[in-house]
Amino acid sequence: MMKHNNFIFLQKVFGITLCLSVFIILADCSHSSTNNESEAIKTTFLVTCITIATIFIVLYISKKIKRKE
C-alpha cells in the first residue's frame, strides 16, 4: 500500500512540474517579440533542462522506493 501511494505522489509531482513547464513556455513565447527571441529561446532551454532533471529525480526516487520494498 505504501509503495502504491509513493508512486501516485511521484506521478502527481511529475505532472504538476510538466504542466508548469508548458505554461511557462507558452506564457514566455506569447509575450516575446521579434527582438526578444533570444530570451524566449533561453527560457525554453531552461524549462526543458528543469523538466529533464525532474524526470531523472523521479526515476531515481522510484528506484529507491522499489529497493526498500
Over 60: is that where the pLDDT of 32 sits? no
Cell numbers given for 62 = 522510484
With a pLDDT cut of 90, the percent of the chain lying above it is 0
State how many domains the chain has.
1
Asked whether residue 51 carries a pLDDT value surpassing 70, the answer given is: yes
Backbone angles phi, psi at 32, to 5 degrees: -85, 145
Q: How confident is the model at residue 31 (pLDDT cuts 50, 70, 90)?
A: low
Q: Is 34 helix (H, G, I), strand (E, B) or coil?
A: helix
CA 63 to chain centre: 18
The DSSP secondary-structure symbol of 40 reads H
Range of the domain at 17: 2-68
Pick 57 or 1 by higher pLDDT. 57
For the cut 80, the answer to whether the pLDDT of residue 53 exceeds it is yes
- Look at residue 62 and tell me whether its pLDDT is greater than 80: no
Handedness of CA 11, 13, 17, 20 (dihedral sign): positive
pTM of the model: 0.56
